[in-house]
Structure 1
Amino acid sequence: MARSKSMIVALADIRMALKLRMVKWSLVLSAAFGPLMTIALVAGPALVLTGPELELITSFMVPMAAALLAMFSIIPATMISANALVGEREQSTLEPLLCTPLTDNELLWGKTLSSVLICSAILVLGTLASTIGIAAILLVSGKQLIVFPDLPGLFMLAVVAPIVLFGVVSLMIIISGRVQRVYEAYQMSGAIIMIFMIPMLAPIISMESGAIGTSAIWMWNFVSFFLAVIVAVVTWAIAIKQFNRDRMVSLV
């Protein structure tokens, strides 16, 4: 029952977010640019390079493409969750929502799911589109197939990215409950993205410094995983503790 109530909140939140032009364009651009950039980074070099040069470039481009694909799926989450509470306040729907018989946990889960569900769909569909697009281009051109995502990239997309997404959303909900205007939450979303993306981009940084080996990529992926878990747990705990319905009603 609690899950169904949270899902109702999530679906209502998604409908409200999709009415906002900035959120709508964020979703469209992220869903489009993620796969397009991934295909360009992975398939592009394979069309013009061969042999050792291609292997070297691929060893760099494939992990980078996975990290960027994950990033593009997370960006819209900040826009949606930024509207979670302050957006309701600006549209004069926060007080009726807070006065419903929903528990704090049900309401918080619903606000979280609205961002997580839609951005997880972007991540999954973007990964499938990238994989199919890369394979199709290389097959049609008669070039050697490149596996995307590789195992480290799959770990990044299937494990690390969802945890980071959860942490980003929970932190943005905290911010949304404390700011006075939506644009203030939007302004902070860029900084939040950069903070959370540092561990995800660490494999790319290590490769730029010369450590291109698979072991180095896996090491950074596990570091990213544990950091993401810690951040997600901490931010969710803070979100639960700081979610004060009475205080938010007083601010309406």
Structure 2
Amino acid sequence: MSATWNEGEPPEPLRISPSGWGLILLRASVLGTLVFGGLIILLLVRLVERPLCGLHRPVTPFITQFVCRNAFRILGIGFTAHGTLMKHRGAVVANHTSWLDIFALNAKKRIYFVSKAEVAAWPGIGWLARATGTVFIERNRARAKEQTELFEARLMAGHKLLFFPEGTSTDGLRVLPFKTTLFAAFFGEHLRGICYIQPVSAVFHAPKEAEERFYGWWGDMEFGPHLLKTLASRRQGRVELTYHAPLKVSDFANRKALAAECERIVRQGHAKMRK
């Protein structure tokens, strides 16, 4: 994420009951075993996969997908998805509610996230991101050519990339204007004619009797308290994804036109699912 979205009413203060702490201990132990156990297996497989396949990852994405699908089962969060997964070369773009988006989007489709370079240095999250093949970039126009070449190499290896054009997470009740910077890479000489972008709308429906912003991550919220709140909830909600029809990059005059159409589609799908 870049600048933090920080509008509207602040989130409710964190309150955890004694039974909630019991759920935290239970779910955290099982979830930690799943995530870090999966990470160890992935790294071991990657020791063989990397020298044999290079950028291609025929096995390890399935491990990531297995972990993410079962993370929702452990948390008790429902999961539904609509639409057809894109088979073309290219990327997926989605609105961004919280860190839970990473699990949701990986659970349905084998993808590789595009993230700001600073994330690579974050304890825990950075390790997971590097291991699962995240593409780290700097939002610097001076390095646009270098990043286009990186995108090209990954896309030519058959990777489906994913990024959040809003540039930050929100309270989950809205879709922010899409930034156009990362769309520019797909208009390069070698990518424009072969790449597609698939817009995805993601909605987190709050647990019954909880405020509708329950899963949102914004403002001054820190990762730890948000994770504790999610783990402590006796009743959980559900996440719903809609995969829209892919857009061919060459059908658009420039990055601004493509970003605007992706934003329109994601915003429309988001509003429909929230009704």
- TM superposition score normalised by structure 2: 0.33
More helix by share: 1
More strand by share: 2
